[in-house]
Each structure stands twice: as C-alpha cells, then as structure tokens.
Amino acid sequence: MIKPHGSETLNPLYVEDDAKRAELLKEAEGLPSIVISSAAAGNAVMLGSGYFNPLTGFMNKADALSVAENMHMADGFFWPTPVLNMVKDAGAIKDARRIALLDPNVEGNPVIAIQDVEAIEEYTDDEMAMMTEKIFRTSDMEHPGVNAFNTVGRIGISGPIQVLNYSYFATDFPETFRTAMQIREEIQKLGWQTVVAFQTRNPMHRAHEGLVKMAMEAVNADGAVIHMLLGKLKKGDIPADVRDAAIRKMVELYFEPNTALITGYGFDMLYAGPREAVLHAVFRQNMGCTHLIVGRDHAGVGDYYGPFDAQTIFDDITKDDLLIDIFRGDHTAYSKKLGKVIMMGSVTDHTKDDWVILSGTKVRAMLAAGEDLPPEFARPEVAKILMDYYQSEAAKAE
C-alpha cells in the first residue's frame, strides 16, 4: 500500500484513548477558550482523522506564507494550502500557552481540540492579499472561497493540537464519515493494491460514474474510493445527506460488488481549483489510494479557472513531493453515436447533437418541475432521489 505523505505511518491527532480524552476534556474546562471558525474546525477534523498527515497542528505565519507562495513550508516540506486557525480577536487567550478550541458548528460550542499556543501573529493587508491571490488565483470577494478566507479574521494562532471529537460529521453521517486510518484499514482488509479515489461534492450522474469506471480500467485498479465532502458548501449546492443517498443507490445498482467504497470526510469546500486539487491528492495519498481522478474544472467554481488548470498544476509536482499518481479526466458525456459514456476529447467525429449534455441550471429546473432526466444523463433511481429533494425544496419556497 502507498505510504502516507511525509511519514512511514499515519499519525492522526485524534486522542483515541477514552481515559486520556476524558482527562483532556476536564482540563479544557479550566483553560482559556475561543470559538474558532468553521474552516478551522474543518482543519482540526482533518488533522484529527489523519488526512493532513504529517502536520501536528496549525501553521505559523512563516509556514503559511511560504506554502501560499510556493507550496512548500519554510523548511522545504511540500504542502499545497495553508492550514490555519484564524480569528478576529485573540484577546480572550492573550498570553495563554494552552487553550480550548470551541466548535462553531455544534450547538453549545463543545471543545473540539486543545491547542498549545506557539505564536499569535497578525497578518498584514499585503500578506492576506498575497495568500489570497496565490491560493485562489483571484482576489474577487464574489468567489466563495476568497470571501470565506478573508472574513474569518487575520490573527493566526499556531501550534500543535490534540483533537477530541470529529464535530458533527461522525454523528450526522455515521455510515459515511471515515478517517484516513479507517479507509486504509478497509483497503487493506479488501486486499486492494491499486486504488482510485474520486472526489465529489455533487451527486454522481452517468458521466461521473463512467469516469470512475474508465479510470479503474485504465490503471487496472482493484477498487475505487468514492470520497465525498461532508462540510459546508456554497448556496445552491446539494446537501450532503441527499448526495450520500444518491451515490449509494448508484453504486448499489451499477457497480460490481466489492469494487467501490463510499466514504466521506469532514471539511469545508475551498473552491480553490488547482491548489485544492493538490490538497485532495495529499489526503487521498494519506488514506492509501494510489491514484486520484482529477477531472475537468476540479474543485472549481464559476469561471475562475481554466477547465484543465487543476491537471496542469501537477506537471511541476514530482515524486519527491507526492507519491500518488493523477488520472487526468476529460469532460465525459453520453455519446448517442456510440451508446455509452466516453471522454469527449477521445472522438473527433461528433457534433453537438451527438452528446447528451445538460447544464446544472437545466437539471435543477427539470427536477424541481418533476420532469424525468434523460436516462443517458442520470440513472433513473438516482434522478428520483434528486427529484424528491428539489420538489420538497420547491414546496417549502411556496
């Protein structure tokens, strides 16, 4: 099995021992505390569950600026995006050496982690602007990732953490949320050696299903891990529970038994396009996958990135940086001529009318109106789950 990023074994930061965790929760009652941002809570969950191996906590300013600038920490270690705990006001923890981090996403703001404070540093306007431009390739505040990154505060609290729970992810998605260690163990139990990872924040239509199967065939994979984001999305994206049900139905009916694992991870979407694609590669390596599918406009939003920018960024990433391989996917769609889903770039004799392609806007409108999607576009059982959701949303709006 492929080894984790930056270490021989995975080192998740979640405190597994029940007695030790109870002891730390008791200690937290007497510590200065601060409610962190949703982004920082997601980072804590990813650190706790091993996806951000080998990091030991939140980055300091020197590392964050270096990572933003050139995808390497100050000591030269490869990492694609800053992992930060940014707040607007650190007055409540001034001079504290150890603090409790409170979860903003769970009622009552329970302690999600304890952090040793190594530094509290304020980022300047120029530093925030540089990081924004490098990570997102835009400074437009209409970009959801840019907006989130620039509105949580500019005071960074750095230092190692001990993670005490997985926020709402483990309780709200018990069948789907898995740590990197759990996925590694499952892959090992199945005896898979070559494993393809598929990232999704959307339900899977037939083009996605076809892309996963094409990638598996191309690399002779033993199986695929369909890995869905369970955290916060932009307005209009389909909720995780609906996505989960749709993907499960598709795999149940249209994949060979024991060839696909359906899992999810607790993180808020960055919409950072190329940089986020590289981050996706890091945590897929950490969970034991040998290949990551990077498709058209991977992790993108709007028109901020070119359709294949998330693939070309890997041209300059070597095996010294990451061990995982990338499967580069073209735009896929159902070909009426050939009667199957193919990569559009693989044929030259097709016209626009030879493809079954629907815009997201058109799909949402059809589902909300109770119109069936073409079976060449979406599996009918999947479309039914989505239609029920959109119709219930339409009914609420009336």
DSSP string, 88-134: S--GGGTT-SEEEEEPTTSTT--EEEEEE--EEEEPPHHHHHHHHHH
Q: Which of 74, 136, 142 is CA-nearest to residue 275?
A: 136
Going by C-alpha positions, the residue among 85, 59, 50 that lies closest to residue 166 is: 50
Would you list the DSSP string of 24-49? HHHHHTTS-EEEPPHHHHHHHHHHHT
With respect to residue 111, please indicate whether it lies within any of the assigned structural domains. yes
CA distance 27 to 370: 54
> What is the distance between the alpha carbons of residues 364 and 122, in angstroms, rounded to a whole number?
43
The answer as to whether 264 is a domain residue is yes
Is residue 307 reached through a cis peptide bond, with omega within 30 degrees of 0 on the bond before it? no
122 and 55 co-located in one domain: yes
Per annotation, catalytic residue among 154, 201, 248, 328: 201
Q: Which pLDDT band, with edges at 50, 70 and 90, does 1 fall under? A: confident
86 and 103 share one domain: yes
The pLDDT of 19-44, averaged and rounded, is 98
Give mean pLDDT, residues 214-227. Answer: 98
pLDDT digits (tens, 9 = 90+) for 102-134: 999 999 999 999 999 999 999 999 999 999 999
Q: pLDDT digit string (tens) for 267-305?
A: 999 999 999 999 999 999 999 999 999 998 999 999 999
Compute the average pLDDT of residues 321-335.
95
Read off the pLDDT of residues 71-102 as tens digits, 9 standing for 90 and up.
999 999 999 999 999 999 999 999 999 999 99
Q: Is residue 236 part of a domain?
A: yes
Is residue 98 part of the annotated active site? The answer reads no
Let me know if 201 is a catalytic residue.
Answer: yes
Number of domains in the chain: 2
Give mean pLDDT, residues 2-27: 97
Give pTM, 2 decimals. Answer: 0.95
Is 200 strand, coil or helix? Answer: strand
**Domain carrying residue 362:** 176-397
Give me the catalytic one of 21, 98, 202, 364. Answer: 202
The domain spanning residue 273 has which CATH number?
3.40.50.620
pLDDT band at 201 (very low <50, low <70, confident <90, very high): confident
Same structural domain, 311 and 224: yes
Residue count of the chain: 398
